[in-house]
Every structure is written in C-alpha cells, then in structure tokens.
C-alpha cells in the first residue's frame, strides 16, 4: 500500500519498505507522542548486519505501522513513494486484539445478583408449595374450577414479585442521574451497585496520579570524572558551545509538523530548556538530493552575548561570523529494550563527526569509559530517584576522521555506542496532581486499599507512592525480583529492601528467605503494628511469578502496592489475580493501554474521553482521581437502596403469600 503524504489512519498492520513516517500511537500506548517510523533495512544492501533475521511485529516495532494509529506526516527519498506491505488485518492486528478484549471480556460475577437469583429460586419453590396447597385445599372444599385456576396462579405472582427488577433499578437510575450532574458518565448502569462494594482501587501513574508532562528541574554536569553542583538553567552563555548542550540539542526524535515542534514530551522539554531552533529540509530540498537532507539545530540569536546590543547591520555581520549550527547526520531511535538513543552529528565546518547518546543512567554509564564516570555516580543517582525525579544521562564521543557520511549511514549501532565520555545528568520532575494525596487519604480512612500499576520506572513509582501517601513514611518496601530459568538453573526470586537498593554499593543486600511472604504476614504483633510491608515488582518479575510461582501469587497481590513497567495485558492479569483473592477491584486510568484492565475490573473509571472511555463502564469529565470516592459513595447509596427495596419487596410478597394461603372461612 502507498502511504499518502498528508497522513492517514492505518486500516491494518503494515511494515514500512521505503521512506519514513511520523505516527501518533496513542490508540495503543496511551502516550500521545508522535513516533518516527523508519523503513525496514534491505537485506541485499546490508547482508552482514541483517543475517537470517525473520520479521516480527514485536521485534521490528519501529518499522511497523499499527492498525488504528494515525500517520501524521511522511518523508520520502527522491521520486520514491512511501510504501508499506500489509502484514496483519482484522482481529489479528494489535488494535483487533484490543477490540476483542473489549467486546468479549470475562464476565464479572457480583454476589448481590447471584444471591438475588438464589433467593428468587427459593421463592419459586415456596410458590410451588403454596400452589399445590391451594389446589388441593380448593378441590377438597369443592370450589369451582375457574376460581381454583385464578387463585392458585395468583399465589405464584404474589410470591415471585414481577415488579422486583424494576424496583431495584430505581436506586440505580437516581444514582446515575446524580453521577451525571458531577461529570461522571456511565454506560453500564448495573456496575453502579458493584462500585458500592469496591475495597481495592488500582491507579495508573502518569496522567492519573501525576501530571501528564515533565518539567526540567535542572542539570548536573561532570568534569574530570567529578560531579559539579546542580545547575537550574542549561541555556547560560558559558555552556552555549559545550558538548553537554550540543547533546541536548541533537539527541532527540523531535520533528516539525505544520511548523510546530512535536515529539516525546521529555525531548520537547529538554530542547525548549536550551532555547535552540530546529530546521528541517523542505520536500523541495529533499527532492533535489538523493538522500533526506539532515535536520539542522542552532542557537537562537538571543543566546549569543554579543547580540544583546547590536544594530541590524551589525547583526548581519555577526550572523555570518558566528554561524554555529549542528547537522544531525544519522539517528538511532530510542529503544525501550536498549533504554537509550544515539545520534551522529557534525558541527558546521568541523571535519570530524560527534556521537551523542542519552538514556537510562545505568545503561549509559556501562557504555562509557570507566575513568570518565564519577565514583559517587550510584549515590547521586539514587538520591534523585528516591525523590521521584526522572534522571537521564548524557554521553559523547569524537568519531574518527576516516568515518565519512556514506560509512556513517551503514555503520552498526554497537560500533558507535562504546568508549563514550560520561557528560552528566538531566533531572526531570513529574509533579503530583494537587488533589491526589487528599483522595488517597480518604480511601485509606474508608479501609479501601490502593495499588499503583504503571509503565514507568520502579524507583520513580515507589517514590511517587510515598509522596502521595500510598506508602506511609514508616512502611518498608520489598522489591521482588523474579528471574526466569536460564542455563539449566531453575527460576528464582531475589528479595531486596527498596531503601537499600543500590545504596552506594554495586550489590544490594538481599533478604535470604525462600518463603518471605509467609514470614511477613505472620510476624510478631508488636512489629506488625509498628511496620507495614509493601511488595513492589516490575512486569518481567510479575510474568515469571505468574508462570513459575503460582502459589506465591495470592500472597504477593495481598501485599503488593507498586507494579512498575507493566504491559497492557499484564495490567488485566493483575486485576484478575486480585479478583481471585476476593477483592472487589476498581481501576482508574487514562490511556488506551488501560482498556483491558478497565473492562475487566468491577468498576473501571476512565479519565480520558478518548479510546479508554469505549471500554470503561465509567468516564469522568474532570481528569482527576477525585471522581473515585464520589463514584464509590454513589455506589454505596445505590446498593443500600437496592438492599432495602429487595427486603421490602420480598417481605411484602411473603406477608401477602401467607395471608392468601390461609383457608377461606367462607368456604
């Protein structure tokens, strides 16, 4: 298929063969961040690099256009159209699987309705006994046949009240009206009653408990393998031509869509912080050359100290003399598997090219020359992550002069990403929403358990859980790290206290106990009142525990509070695991990646009016978790109404039934 240059919504899964596309994948990931997709490398051009590799949509994500995602813009080579080949259609696609999970969820079982049916069944039995009694009694008293039929059938309609379903719905209807007034919309009214019994609520982190975006808190540069003091601004005059700022200016996947910079919010904040300008080649310029023209970044005029007091004529001369700009020659996109991205760039007029890399601090440090990494690197990093900051590390390397433009286009990523010089850290802040701590406190007072399910980093998630009051200051957090079977060794679980993890040492002290969850539950009463334990684990560990440690799952979910790096299907599995230990589970999320869990939970509340609201029984107009206590309150009110109506109708029927079954003295 040909991808139109002005964009389209993908009708199927397809793999890109030529050109590049900028795609919005919020439908699948919940992140409204445009992603750059590049064409699948041609094996005939790079036989060494490719080998006998077989295409897989999961492995080759950055070459695959997924069904339902929005192609915003395409870029092409000279006269060559942007082509893709269809690989999956219908329910086989990623979107199809999501739609299937929405259409055919596992049925949620609610005890009230189950008991109501059993009660009605017992009433039918009672009605049957009354029916036989009336028939026999009337025959013995020689009552006319038509009177026997009317009276005996009357017994059945009295005993099993036909108005019961309608009467029970009354409370739900009024609750639905009240919910609508406070901005909560409901597409499954029967779930309102279930919400009255919720005793555990799962929350997504980004956009639900915290604000959507990240703010730049500051930078901490490294010189001569020592950390300098943290700096608030990265756009100071003395840093203008530094390699640190050059890395911030080039190492990103930003692009211009209709003249507006767009891309990952983290990259956007980082680029805005330095105040540079990004210029991309136009389609006309691209058509004149064989290759896509490099993207160029340069400082804005205001950043140069000399430009402050200058006339227009002086300004023109100044621009000619300064001409400091960097061209991005090749980009290795961010990979969640590798946890880093890398670019090859060249400063205008320089002969040698530079490689810049950014990513997870631990990964970047491992790829740098050890003599350039500060000794206290782990201590500094842990201090930031414990405070809930998101930390990104930067590295740089001067490339050999023999590396030409053509060689750079075919070079392997691993050849570039080694022997780098560690440059420092960028510290980003993800603020809590204002109402989050108060809402969680209300839920705790009502004895409703709260759990965090996020796709973010483990330590950041634990820090946010502490900040919002999900984990109290005196509580201890134990990280369960499950390792799959490898090289003949059986699967195992390592237990660490989160506070001692990476505590300025290379190995964190492990808790040596096979049955730690059992011990923690049955500790001495004094100790249990003083300290409460919480388990935290990531998606990989959760998958290993589900597969190899089935007996531990109930114990872990009973005390698990933070589940980090969770994939969409794992969120659904967690909700099911919690339901299996008799919890009534609520789920609050805002992304399409929460759809399965929102549908599976007893009460799913979407904070977004986009894809998530299709699957979710409840949608809140206000994007904050303050809707959760309101919904539970209304659910309890509706549930009490249903109980009272049920008791009234049942008692009313039984009284009438007994009076009707009394022998008629006139006969």
CA 634 to chain CA mean position, Å: 28
Q: Which residues contact 222 (CB under 8 A, 6 or more apart)?
A: 228, 372, 373, 374, 422, 423, 424
Q: Where are the beta strands (DSSP E) in 448-509?
A: 449-453, 476-483, 492-497
Which residues make beta-bridge pairs with 343?
331, 356
DSSP string for residues in 220-231: EEEETTEEPPPB
3-state SS record for 266-308: HHHHHHHHHCEEEECCCHHHHHHCCCCCCEEEEECHHHCHHHC
Q: Match 């080579």 to its residue by tokens.
A: 77
How many Cα neighbours within 13 Å face the side chain of 76? 19
Beta bridge partners of 585: 200
Question: Quick check: helix, strand or coil at residue 591?
Answer: coil
- How far, CA to CA in Å, does 362 sit from each of 331, 339, 358, 382, 392? 21, 10, 11, 11, 9
Nearest to 69 by CA among 636, 663, 655, 611: 611
Burial environment of residue 147 by CB neighbours within 10 A (0 to 12, 13 to 18, 19 or more): exposed
Packing angle, helices 568-580 and 539-548, rounded to 10: 50
Residue count of the chain: 667
Active site residues: 204
Using alpha carbons, select from 399, 234, 241 the residue that is nearest to residue 323: 241
Give, in order, the Cα–Cα distances in Å from 653 to each of 25, 127, 160, 180.
57, 10, 7, 34
Angle at CA of residue 618, ends 631 and 464, nearest 5°: 70
Burial class of 309 by CB neighbour count within 10 A (0 to 12, 13 to 18, 19+): exposed
Q: Is 186 helix (H, G, I), strand (E, B) or coil?
A: strand
Q: Are the CB atoms for 434 and 467 separated by under 8 Å?
A: no
- Strands 533-538 and 560-564 turn out to be parallel
For residue 620, which of 212, 211, 208 has the smallest C-alpha distance?
Answer: 208
Concatenated DSSP letters of 399-437: PPTT--HHHHHH--HHHHSSSBEEEEEEEEE-PBPTTHH
Inter-residue contact 411 to 399 (CB < 8 Å): no
Contacts of 57 (CB under 8 A, 6+ apart): 13, 15, 64, 66, 87, 88, 94
* Residue closest to 77 by CA, chosen among 36, 19, 38: 19
Partners of 73 in beta bridges: 22
Q: Can you read off the two tokens belonging to residue 380? A: 């500094």
Determine the Cα–Cα distance for residues 127 and 133; give it in Å rounded to an integer.
Answer: 10
Q: Alpha-carbon distance 658 to 130, whole Å?
A: 9
How crowded is residue 375: how many other Cβ atoms within 10 Å of its Cβ? Answer: 10
How many Cα atoms sit within 13 Å of 377 on the Cβ side? 26
């Amino acid at each position: 298929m040909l991808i139109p240059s002005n964009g389209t919504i993908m009708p199927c899964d397809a793999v890109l063969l030529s050109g590049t596309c900028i795609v919005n994948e919020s439908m699948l990931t919940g992140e409204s961040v445009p992603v750059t997709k590049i064409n699948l490398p041609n094996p005939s051009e790079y036989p060494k690099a490719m080998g006998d590799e077989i295409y897989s949509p999961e492995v080759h994500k950055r070459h695959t256009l997924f069904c339902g995602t929005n192609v915003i813009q395409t870029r092409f080579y000279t006269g060559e159209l942007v082509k893709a080949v269809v690989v999956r259609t219908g329910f086989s696609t990623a979107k199809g699987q999501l739609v299937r999970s929405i259409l055919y969820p596992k049925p949620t079982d609610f005890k009230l309705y189950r008991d109501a049916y059993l009660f009605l069944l017992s009433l039918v039995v009672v009605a049957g006994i009354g029916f036989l009694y009336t028939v026999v009694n009337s025959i013995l008293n020689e009552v006319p046949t038509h009177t026997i039929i009317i009276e005996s059938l009357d017994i059945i309609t009295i005993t099993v009240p036909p108005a019961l379903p309608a009467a029970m719905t009354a409370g739900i209807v009024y609750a639905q009206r009240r919910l609508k007034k406070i901005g909560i919309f409901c597409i499954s009214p029967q779930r309102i009653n279930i919400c009255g019994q919720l005793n555990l609520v799962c929350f997504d982190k980004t956009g639900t408990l915290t604000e959507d975006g990240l703010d730049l808190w500051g930078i901490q540069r490294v010189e001569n393998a020592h950390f300098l003091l943290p700096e608030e601004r990265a756009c100071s005059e003395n840093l203008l031509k530094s390699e640190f700022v050059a890395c911030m200016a080039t190492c990103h996947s930003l692009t211009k869509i209709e003249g507006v910079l767009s891309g990952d919010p983290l990259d956007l904040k980082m680029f805005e912080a330095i105040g540079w300008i990004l210029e991309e080649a136009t389609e006309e310029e691209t058509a004149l050359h064989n290759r896509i023209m490099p993207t160029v970044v340069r400082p804005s005029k205001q950043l140069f100290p000399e430009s402050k007091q200058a006339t227009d004529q002086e300004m023109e001369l100044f621009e000619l003399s300064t001409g400091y700009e960097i061209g991005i020659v090749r980009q290795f996109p961010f990979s969640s598997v590798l946890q880093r991205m890398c670019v090859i760039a060249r400063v205008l007029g320089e002969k040698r090219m530079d490689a810049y890399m950014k990513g997870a601090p631990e990964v970047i440090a491992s790829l740098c020359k050890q003599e350039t990494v500060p000794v206290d690197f782990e201590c500094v990093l842990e201090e930031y992550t414990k405070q809930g900051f998101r930390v990104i590390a930067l590295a740089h390397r001067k490339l050999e002069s023999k590396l030409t433009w053509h060689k750079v286009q075919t070079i392997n990523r691993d050849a570039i990403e080694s022997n780098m010089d560690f440059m420092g850290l960028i510290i980003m802040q993800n603020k809590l929403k204002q109402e989050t701590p108060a809402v969680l406190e209300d839920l705790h007072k009502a004895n409703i358990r709260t759990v965090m399910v996020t796709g973010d980093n483990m330590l950041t998630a634990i820090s946010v859980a502490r900040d919002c009051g999900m984990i109290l200051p005196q509580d201890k957090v134990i990280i369960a790290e499950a390792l799959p079977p490898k090289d003949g060794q059986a699967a195992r679980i390592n237990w660490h206290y989160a506070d001692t993890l990476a505590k300025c040492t290379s190995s964190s002290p492990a808790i040596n106990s096979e049955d730690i969850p059992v011990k923690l539950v049955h500790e001495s009463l004094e100790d249990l009142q003083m300290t409460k334990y919480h388990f935290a684990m990531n998606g990989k560990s959760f998958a290993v525990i589900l597969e190899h440690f089935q007996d531990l799952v109930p114990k872990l979910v009973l005390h698990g509070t933070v589940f980090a790096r969770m994939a969409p299907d794992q969120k659904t599995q967690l909700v099911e695991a919690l339901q299996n230990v008799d919890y009534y589970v609520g789920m609050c999320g805002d992304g399409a990646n929460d759809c399965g869990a929102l549908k599976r939970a007893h009460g799913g509340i979407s904070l977004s009016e986009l894809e998530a609201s299709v699957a979710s029984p409840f949608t809140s107009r206000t994007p904050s978790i303050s809707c959760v206590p309101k919904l539970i309150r209304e659910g309890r009110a509706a549930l009490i109404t249903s109980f009272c109506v049920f008791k009234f109708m049942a008692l009313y029927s039984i009284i009438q039934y007994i009076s009707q079954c009394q022998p008629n003295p006139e006969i």
